[in-house]
Structure 1
Amino acid sequence: MDRLTEMEAFATVVDQGGFTDAAKKMGISKSAVSKHVSSLEARLGARLLNRTTRRVSPTEIGLAYYDRARRVLNDAGEADSLVTSMQSAPSGLLRISVATDFGVSHLSPILGSFLSEFPDITINMLLNNRYVELISEGFDMAVRLGELEDSTLSARKLTETTRRMIASPAYLRKFGRPQRIDDLNAHKLLHYSSQANGAVWKLTAPSGEKRQVRTSGWLSVNDGQSLLNAAVSGLGIAYLPSFLYADALKQGLVEEVIPDLPVEVQGIYAVYPPGRFTQPKVRAFVDFLAHAFADKGPDTW
């Protein structure tokens, strides 16, 4: 007889407290349940159940075996569910957290293609620059930039971006081009206002020394595209990721301010809660993003 069926029959008898109810639960005859349990006891060489006219209860050995058997049966059930789930079409609500700048400039424009491919999925996307606790706040996944803080999450690297200081040719003609980090103290810097250290730039000198620049400027704003627009307009120097400034740089609207400085490279990742398997809707979106950004970055946007 099948070993798993024997285990299921025994465990169901214990769960239901008797052969009659176990037979109803399994959808087979009472004699079939009894035959499976007897076969199991014969194979193990041990009595697993105490049988009386009034009740059936596990022996001491039977109780120990039941604990292990139930775990095996639960695992088998999860394995079946995993296969069924992974073969089913992705569907349901997908809640995503995305950094505002990347979400607006590069994620929003491609959502239509994804939803056309997977019409049974609906998306709720939150754009902000704060750190979101995926599990406690009910998100299925997030797209994050830079070093990953939570190592317990599953992550897939999508691409990379660089960060550089950029300014318009008109600004550099008017105020001069800084040659080194210290020269930035005499310039107008454009800062993020939504980050705790928004007024501080962390730069690396050609020597490898880490420097911090705190010079104030004409504008602080909580949106990277607005900072780029301000830089193009000649309001100052902005320190932005390449996925924002790449087109403006290609068109000559901005220039790199101090080209000799080492370039900071940041990873862009899809992160999602760990588990024995990934939900089809999450897996489908992560695969879609990986394909969409396969030929992007760190400077090609």
Structure 2
Amino acid sequence: MDRLSEMEAFATVVDQGGFTDAARKLGISKSAVSKHVSSLEARLGARLLNRTTRRVSPTEIGLAYYDRARRVLNDAGEADALVASMQSAPSGMLRISVATDFGVNHLSPVLGDFLKEYPDITVNMVLNNRFVELISEGFDMAIRIGELEDSSLRARKLAETARRMIASPAYFAQYGRPGRIDDLNAHKLLHYSNDARGAVWRITAPSGEKRQVRTAGWLTVNDGQSLLNAAISGLGIAYLPTFLTAEALSQGLVEEALPDLPVDTQGIYAVYPPGRFTQPKVRAFINFLVGMFADRGPHDWTEPEPEETNVAVLRGVG
């Protein structure tokens, strides 16, 4: 008999607690299940099950064999699923969690291209500023920025960003420009309330020393775009990622407060639940994002200028 079929029959008897329920689970006759188990015991030369008129239970050897057999059967099932998934076109609902600022500014604009490329996938993107529990909350994947705290998740790096202190030219004209980290204590600082590190900025000094500056008091907001808007309007100095501030910097709406400080970079990652294989819809989206953000970061987050159309060509002028 087939060795895998014998293993499956035995493991199902243990799982179901008897031959009748195992036969129903496997969709075969009770006698066929019994033959598989008897053949397995004969081949191994050991009794794996204690049989009574009321119940069936594994022997000590049977229990040890069950643990190994169940692993083999699970691996075989995953192998079959892997082949099936790799041959199927990506489809189904893709549920994504992403930080609001990154989702609005960089993920939303490219979703249309992805959906056109994969019309059988539908996307449910949830914008929030907290670390969701992927499996328990039903997410297929998330985009996370900074140090990855959950080492059990699989991750793929998409790009890098950096955090810089910025304020408007009008603010610097009114309050002056800080010359060193200690000068920040005399300035109006804008705080991001969802920062897990609390109401402090952790800054790397030119010497490499890690410094902390308290920021609570002037303005606290739980949204990075709102902090950027406040900085542009002259309300104070904000400490924000370059994926959010690059356009404003390039347009001169804000300037760096301490441009000579070392750059603290952060990775931007696609994270997804662990497993032996990745769902086609998740794999397709991650590969799409890798290509989309391949040339980004830590400072290159400005959108490319649209190409100018040659008016003479349009008019047919030679």
Superposed pair shares fold, TM > 0.5? yes
Residue identity opposite 1:261 in structure 2 = L
Taking a change above 3 Å as real, the CA distance of residues 62 and 182 of structure 1, as seen in their structure-2 partners, is: closer
Taking a change above 3 Å as real, the CA distance of residues 198 and 224 of structure 1, as seen in their structure-2 partners, is: farther
Q: Is there any run of 5+ residues in structure 1 with no aligned partner, and where? A: 50-56
Matches within 5 A, 1:90-129: 90-129=90-129
CA contact (8 A) 2:206 2:262 kept: yes
Which residue is equivalent to 2:181? 181
Q: Is there any run of 5+ residues in structure 2 with no aligned partner, and where? A: 50-55, 302-318
Which residue is equivalent to 1:245? 245
Q: CA deviation at 1:162?
A: 0.5
Q: Which runs of 4+ in 1 moved over 4 A?
A: 1-18, 24-27, 36-49, 57-66, 68-71, 215-218
Residues 91-143 of structure 1: per-residue CA shift (max 9 Å, x gap): 22222111111111111111111122222222222212122121222222111
Which residue is equivalent to 2:162? 162
Which residue is equivalent to 2:80? 80
Cα distance in 2 between the residues matched to 1:38 and 1:63: 13
Taking a change above 3 Å as real, the CA distance of residues 44 and 224 of structure 1, as seen in their structure-2 partners, is: closer
CA contact (8 A) 1:187 1:217 kept: no
Residue identity opposite 1:177 in structure 2 = R
Cα distance in 2 between the residues matched to 1:58 and 1:177: 78
Cα distance in 1 between the residues matched to 2:263 and 2:131: 25
Cα distance in 2 between the residues matched to 1:237 and 1:271: 32
Which residue is equivalent to 1:262? 262
Matches within 5 A, 1:39-50: none
SS in 1 for 2:261: coil
Residues 219-266 of structure 1: per-residue CA shift (max 9 Å, x gap): 322221121122122221111100011111112221111112111101
Residue identity opposite 2:228 in structure 1 = L
Cα distance in 1 between the residues matched to 2:212 and 2:10: 68
Cα distance in 2 between the residues matched to 1:95 and 1:142: 9
Residues 186-244 of structure 1: per-residue CA shift (max 9 Å, x gap): 21112213345553211111122221112456432222112112212222111110001
CA contact (8 A) 2:96 2:126 kept: yes
Residue identity opposite 2:143 in structure 1 = V
Cα distance in 1 between the residues matched to 2:46 and 2:223: 71
Task: Normalising by structure 1, report the TM-score.
Answer: 0.80
Which residue is equivalent to 1:204? 204
SS in 2 for 1:143: strand
Cα distance in 1 between the residues matched to 2:58 and 2:177: 86
Taking a change above 3 Å as real, the CA distance of residues 183 and 39 of structure 1, as seen in their structure-2 partners, is: closer
Answer with 262-271 or 59-68: which moved more: 59-68
CA RMSD of aligned residues (A): 3.6
Which residue is equivalent to 1:295? 295
Taking a change above 3 Å as real, the CA distance of residues 172 and 84 of structure 1, as seen in their structure-2 partners, is: same
SS in 1 for 2:161: strand
Which residue is equivalent to 1:278? 278
Cα distance in 2 between the residues matched to 1:217 and 1:9: 68
Taking a change above 3 Å as real, the CA distance of residues 116 and 211 of structure 1, as seen in their structure-2 partners, is: same
SS in 2 for 1:220: strand
Q: CA deviation at 1:77?
A: 3.0
Which residue is equivalent to 1:223? 223
Task: Normalising by structure 2, report the TM-score.
Answer: 0.76
**Aligned residues with identical type, % of pairs:** 75
CA contact (8 A) 1:96 1:123 kept: yes
Taking a change above 3 Å as real, the CA distance of residues 69 and 166 of structure 1, as seen in their structure-2 partners, is: closer
Residues 29-75 of structure 1: per-residue CA shift (max 9 Å, x gap): x99x97x99998897788999xxxxxxx9998995797355654443
Residue identity opposite 1:179 in structure 2 = G
Matches within 5 A, 1:46-85: 67=66, 71-85=71-85
Taking a change above 3 Å as real, the CA distance of residues 218 and 40 of structure 1, as seen in their structure-2 partners, is: closer
